[in-house]
């Protein structure tokens, strides 16, 4: 066969993808966008169905024989059980208000990352397999048959949704794609179609008490390392207690704060704060090496597993006999607590309504859950001038704040972190309004999507946030991105390294730890990262 | 009218055609979104493309400063490097600029016999292509370096904590 001349070949190259109805676009599972399949062991450990070795790139996903019946009956069961799911399957009018609100769509341009279309992947199955209109009219009524390819497509895109709920802010009906994704993943889990980065942490948490499977002695060792560093910097050694029966309060934070930089510096901030509160006010806070995880990866698996993992925190509070629980800087821990805990495991009548022993403030919103966020607790302390602070220690930082999806949209937690930041640093700058508070962009790694193998989708999803950071960096010289979520700290660090390498990432309590003046401390030369404090650079 | 003035006069048409070609590499709806939404924060991809395309265009006919050009090319390429396109498609905005200019001005260039100037401009396109290629590779290498560093640091820390390795002086 004759080979065409170069100019003819060149003219025939088209970069334009073919125009096809979305139902006919063949599924292509792209590296960098999907996560590895769950290993059988963690699924077995928590009693999830169909544990086996499988690979999303293989044709055969080793589904159980009756997989289709399982999904459809599972869907019917959930339509009965969750009114929100039924409403969300029925009422979308395809207005498109949500279409360009998802960070993954904005960054990737993949239409199936439009929330409306992501929901439609499941909604079309609901219509085609369950509604009368869909069964009779089929595709004309927006219905389609549940085939293996359709199932694979749902799997691929439902693990490209971080359940951040930004789209729901713009939906005139308030359709919450996160709720649809949660049910979608629950249906996938009926067939053993979980991802490894969720299944393993969930099983570890169920068995050992935290996502990483850190055993009690290692957990304590890590905290001891932090105490060594704090002693070196401040001359004061905090003396945290572990599993102390009869302590007044139990503190639970994401295990990422104990094992992953820069969360570790946030953890040091907690330790400094608790030491201060113990010395100044006699506040007795204990850590648990068993309930050593604030996050809840059961939430990304099924309602049932979420309930089991959440219950562990309360069982430990009961065992230790504390008054109430103080929670660290975490994202989805707070959504689970605020939106689900009370009807799953509540009310925990063995605990008291949280009241600050220092200011007397009663946290009425937590009257039922008996657990409050460290940022609201500290904001209250600051409001009552109960902390001695030297905010000039953070003068080398020009800070902006990333509202984590769950505390902001799931908990309405907007002012408290800003209040604390402004009390501990002099240079705070907001990103544009359309990128923060209720409209905040996800970091790109929420809902269990912070695995190594899907970094590219995270980079795409993180672009809207990075772009907003760039604007305050260019305008105000911002060099630090603060947040109150362990997943943020992990995800944003890698994301900033790619998009804005001169901007670092910090937890709010790292800055609190820097600013807080411990009674009897030595003159500090460095911050918690070991970097010289402002004005101390020459003394190096 | 000289060659540069003739092309610069048609800037907005050229940029529109260029952006259309480039965003046509996405699916229809997405391309339309990237082109039509003017928001800096609601459409960072489209906004960044348009702004940097305008800057590249301007710079080509100014001093062609390599440092500035690197920054503009980086704006576009850094996004494309994570969007899953083949490398050639990721940096296809460079040949698309040449095509767009030719579509708008080619007839006049031929009529006025400005072949020498067109050739000289093509040399700049080639330099631009090399710049885009280098930027693309540095982005991809950074992604892999991050992954490698993460694994290296984690492994090292685990070994250290387990007491299998000790640093000198400890």
Min distance A499 CA to chain B CA atoms (Å): 8
**Spatial contact of A201 and A296, defined as CB atoms under 8 Å apart:** no
| Contact with chain B for residue A17, Cβ under 8 A | yes
Q: What is the pLDDT of residue A13?
A: 64
Average confidence score pLDDT of chain A = 94
Q: Do B44 and A497 touch (CB under 8 A)?
A: no
**Spatial contact of A266 and A329, defined as CB atoms under 8 Å apart:** yes
Min distance A124 CA to chain B CA atoms (Å): 20
Local confidence band at B64 (pLDDT 50, 70, 90 cut-offs)? confident
Min distance A500 CA to chain B CA atoms (Å): 11
Burial track B44-77 (b if 16+ CB lie within 10 A, e otherwise): bbbbbbbebbbbbbebbeeeeeeeebeebbbbbb
- C-alpha to C-alpha distances, A32 to A22, A113, A168, A457, A532, nearest whole angstrom: 22, 15, 26, 6, 38
The predicted model gives B141-156 an average pLDDT of 86
Taking the CB of residue A317, how many other CB atoms lie within 10 A of it? 23
Q: Do A455 and B143 touch (CB under 8 A)?
A: yes
Taking the CB of residue A9, how many other CB atoms lie within 10 A of it? 10
A259-263, A300-304, B113-117, B153-157: which has the minimum mean pLDDT?
Answer: B153-157
Q: What is the pLDDT of residue A9?
A: 67
| Contact with chain B for residue A15, Cβ under 8 A | yes
Q: Do B26 and A17 touch (CB under 8 A)?
A: yes
A138-142, A321-325, A383-387, A506-510: which has the minimum mean pLDDT?
Answer: A138-142
Query: CA-CA-CA-CA torsion for A70, A76, A77, A82, nearest 10 degrees?
Result: 130
Contacting residues of B for A435, CB less than 8 Å apart: 41
Provide the percentage of residues in chain A whose pLDDT is more than 90: 90
Q: Do A468 and B41 touch (CB under 8 A)?
A: yes
Q: What is the pLDDT of residue A2?
A: 61
| Contact with chain B for residue A215, Cβ under 8 A | no
Local confidence band at A146 (pLDDT 50, 70, 90 cut-offs)? very high
B-contacting residues in A 26-85 (Cβ below 8 Å): 30, 32-33
Q: Which of A106, A224, A437, A444 to mutate to test the interface with B (most CBs of B within 10 A)?
A: A106
Taking the CB of residue A18, how many other CB atoms lie within 10 A of it? 9
Q: What is the pLDDT of residue A18?
A: 62
Q: Do A106 and B139 touch (CB under 8 A)?
A: no
Q: What is the pLDDT of residue A85?
A: 96
- C-alpha to C-alpha distances, A121 to A124, A158, B1, B114, nearest whole angstrom: 6, 9, 56, 55
Local confidence band at A411 (pLDDT 50, 70, 90 cut-offs)? confident
pLDDT reading at A539 higher than 60: no
Q: Do B84 and A494 touch (CB under 8 A)?
A: no
Q: Which of B45, B46, B97, B162 to mutate to test the interface with A (most CBs of A within 10 A)?
A: B45
Q: Do A100 and B146 touch (CB under 8 A)?
A: no
Q: Do B143 and A497 touch (CB under 8 A)?
A: no
Q: Do B147 and A452 touch (CB under 8 A)?
A: yes
Local confidence band at B65 (pLDDT 50, 70, 90 cut-offs)? confident
The ipTM assigned to this model is 0.92
| Contact with chain A for residue B79, Cβ under 8 A | yes
The predicted model gives B140-165 an average pLDDT of 83
Q: Do B45 and A435 touch (CB under 8 A)?
A: no
Distance in angstroms (rounded) separating the CA atoms of residues A290 and A242 = 10
Distance in angstroms (rounded) separating the CA atoms of residues A305 and A294 = 15
Contacting residues of A for B34, CB less than 8 Å apart: 109
**Spatial contact of B143 and B82, defined as CB atoms under 8 Å apart:** yes
Q: What is the pLDDT of residue A63?
A: 98
Of all residues in chain A, the one with the smallest CA distance to B36 is A100
pLDDT reading at A473 higher than 60: yes
The predicted model gives A259-268 an average pLDDT of 94
Provide the percentage of residues in chain B whose pLDDT is more than 90: 79
Q: What is the pLDDT of residue A528?
A: 97
The predicted model gives A486-509 an average pLDDT of 96
**Residue A15: which of B44, B92, B146 has the nearest Cβ?**
B92
Local confidence band at A17 (pLDDT 50, 70, 90 cut-offs)? low
Q: What is the pLDDT of residue A306?
A: 96
**Residue A434: which of B31, B37, B41 has the nearest Cβ?**
B41
**Tens-place pLDDT, residues A203-255:** 999 999 999 898 999 999 999 999 999 999 999 999 999 999 999 999 999 99
**Tens-place pLDDT, residues B27-60:** 988 999 999 999 999 999 999 999 999 999 999 9
Partners of A324 in the beta sheet? A249
Of all residues in chain A, the one with the smallest CA distance to B95 is A10
What's the full length of chain B, in residues?
170
Q: Most distant CA pair in chain A: distance in Å?
A: 88
Q: Do B26 and A109 touch (CB under 8 A)?
A: yes
The predicted model gives A504-527 an average pLDDT of 97
Contacting residues of B for A498, CB less than 8 Å apart: 78, 82, 139, 142-143, 146
**Residue B42: which of A33, A100, A111 has the nearest Cβ?**
A100
Q: Which of B41, B51, B74, B96 to mutate to test the interface with A (most CBs of A within 10 A)?
A: B41
**Spatial contact of A191 and A50, defined as CB atoms under 8 Å apart:** yes
Local confidence band at B170 (pLDDT 50, 70, 90 cut-offs)? low
What does B63-117 look like in DSSP terms, one character per residue? T--HHHHHHHHHHHHHHHTTTT--HHHHTTHHHHHHHHHHHHHHHHHHHTT-HHH
Q: What is the pLDDT of residue B159?
A: 79
What does A350-415 look like in DSSP terms, one character per residue? TSPPPB-TTT--B-GGGTTT-EEEHHHHHHHHHHTT-S-B-GGGGTT--EEE---HIIIIIT---H
Distance in angstroms (rounded) separating the CA atoms of residues A433 and A471 = 12
The predicted model gives B127-146 an average pLDDT of 95
| Contact with chain A for residue B44, Cβ under 8 A | yes
Local confidence band at A16 (pLDDT 50, 70, 90 cut-offs)? low
Contacting residues of B for A464, CB less than 8 Å apart: 41, 44
Local confidence band at A11 (pLDDT 50, 70, 90 cut-offs)? low
Q: Most distant CA pair in chain B: distance in Å?
A: 78
The predicted model gives A50-78 an average pLDDT of 97
Question: A520: helix, coil or strand?
Answer: coil
Q: What is the 3-state secondary structure (H, E, C) of A282-325?
A: CCCEEECCCCCCCCCHHHHCCHHHHHHHHHHHHHHHHHHCCCEE
Helices (H) and strands (E) in chain A, counts: 23, 8
Which 8-state DSSP code applies to residue A444? S
Secondary-structure breakdown of chain B: helix, strand, coil percentages, each rounded to the nearest 5: 75, 0, 25
Question: A32: helix, coil or strand?
Answer: coil
**Tens-place pLDDT, residues A415-467:** 999 999 999 999 999 999 999 999 999 999 999 999 989 999 999 999 999 99
Distance in angstroms (rounded) separating the CA atoms of residues A153 and A118 = 10
pLDDT reading at B140 higher than 60: yes
| Contact with chain B for residue A22, Cβ under 8 A | no
CATH class held by domain A23-194 = mainly alpha
Q: What is the pLDDT of residue A483?
A: 98
Taking the CB of residue B36, how many other CB atoms lie within 10 A of it? 10
pLDDT reading at A497 higher than 80: yes
The predicted model gives A499-508 an average pLDDT of 97
Give the residue extent of every domain in chain A. Answer: 23-194, 201-524
Q: What is the pLDDT of residue B165?
A: 79
**Tens-place pLDDT, residues B74-102:** 999 999 999 999 999 999 999 999 999 99
């Amino acid at each position: 066969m004759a080979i065409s001349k170069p100019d003819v070949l060149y003219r025939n190259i088209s970069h334009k993808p073919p125009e096809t109805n979305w139902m006919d676009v063949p599924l292509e599972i792209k590296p960098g966008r999907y996560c590895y399949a769950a290993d059988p062991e963690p699924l077995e450990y928590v009693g999830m169905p169909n544990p086996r070795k499988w690979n999303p790139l293989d044709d055969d996903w080793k589904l159980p024989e009756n997989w289709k019946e399982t999904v459809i009956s599972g869907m019917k069961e959930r339509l009965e059980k969750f009114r929100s799911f039924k409403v969300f399957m029925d009422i979308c009018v395809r207005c498109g208000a949500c279409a360009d609100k998802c960070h993954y769509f904005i960054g990737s341009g993949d239409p199936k990352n439009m929330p409306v279309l992501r929901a439609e992947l499941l909604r079309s199955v609901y219509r085609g397999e369950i509604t009368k209109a869909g069964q009779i009219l089929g595709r004309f009524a927006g219905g389609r048959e549940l085939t293996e390819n359709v199932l694979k497509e749902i799997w691929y895109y439902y693990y490209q949704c971080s359940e951040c709920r930004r789209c729901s802010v713009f939906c005139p009906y308030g359709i919450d794609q996160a709720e649809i994704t949660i049910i979608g993943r629950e249906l996938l889990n009926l067939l053993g179609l979980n991802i490894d980065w969720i299944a393993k942490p969930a099983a570890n948490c169920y068995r050992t008490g935290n996502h990483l499977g850190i055993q009690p002695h290692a957990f304590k060792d890590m905290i001891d390392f932090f105490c060594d560093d704090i002693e070196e910097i401040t001359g004061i050694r905090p003396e945290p207690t572990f599993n102390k029966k009869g302590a007044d309060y139990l503190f639970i934070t994401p295990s990422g704060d104990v094992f992953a930089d820069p969360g570790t510096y946030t953890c040091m901030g907690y330790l400094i704060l608790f030491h201060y509160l113990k010395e100044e006010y006699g506040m007795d806070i204990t850590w648990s090496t068993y309930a050593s995880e604030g996050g809840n990866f059961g939430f990304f698996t099924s309602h049932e597993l979420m309930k089991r993992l959440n219950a562990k925190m309360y069982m430990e509070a009961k065992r230790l006999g504390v008054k109430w629980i103080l929670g660290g800087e975490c994202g989805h821990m707070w959504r689970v607590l605020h939106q689900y805990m009370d009807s799953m495991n509540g009310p925990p009548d063995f605990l008291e309504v949280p009241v600050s022993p220092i200011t007397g403030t009663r946290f009425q919103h937590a009257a039922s859950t008996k657990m409050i966020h460290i940022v609201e607790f500290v904001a209250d302390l600051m409001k009552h001038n109960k902390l001695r602070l030297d905010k000039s220690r953070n003068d080398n930082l020009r800070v902006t704040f990333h509202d984590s999806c769950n505390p902001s949209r799931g908990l309405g937690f907007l002012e408290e972190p800003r209040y604390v930041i402004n009390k501990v640093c002099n240079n705070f700058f907001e990103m544009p309004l359309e990128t923060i508070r209720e409209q905040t962009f996800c970091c790109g790694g929420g809902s269990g999507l912070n695995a190594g193998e899907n970094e590219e989708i995270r980079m795409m999803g993180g672009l809207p946030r990075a772009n907003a950071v760039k604007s305050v960096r260019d305008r105000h010289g911002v060099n630090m991105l603060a947040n109150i979520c362990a997943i943020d700290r992990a995800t944003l660090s890698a994301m900033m390294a790619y998009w804005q390498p001169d901007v670092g990432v910090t937890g709010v309590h790292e800055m609190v730890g820097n600013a807080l003046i411990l009674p009897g401390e030595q003159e500090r030369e460095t911050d918690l990262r070991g970097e010289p404090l402002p004005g101390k650079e020459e003394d190096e | 009218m000289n060659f540069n003035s003739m092309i610069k006069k048609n800037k907005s048409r050229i940029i529109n055609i260029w952006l259309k070609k480039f965003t046509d590499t996405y699916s229809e709806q997405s391309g339309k979104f990237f082109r039509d939404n003017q928001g800096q924060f609601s459409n960072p991809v489209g906004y960044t493309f348009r702004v940097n395309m305008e800057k590249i265009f301007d710079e080509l006919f100014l001093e062609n400063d390599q440092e500035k050009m690197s920054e503009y090319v980086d704006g576009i390429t850094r996004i494309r490097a994570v969007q899953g396109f083949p490398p050639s498609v990721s940096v296809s905005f460079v040949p698309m600029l040449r095509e767009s200019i030719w579509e708008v001005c080619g007839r006049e260039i031929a009529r006025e016999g400005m072949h020498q100037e067109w050739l000289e401009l093509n040399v700049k396109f080639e330099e631009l292509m090399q710049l885009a290629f280098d930027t693309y590779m540095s982005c991809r290498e950074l992604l892999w370096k991050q992954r490698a560093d993460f694994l290296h640091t984690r492994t090292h820390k685990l070994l250290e904590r387990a007491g299998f390795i000790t640093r000198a002086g400890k």
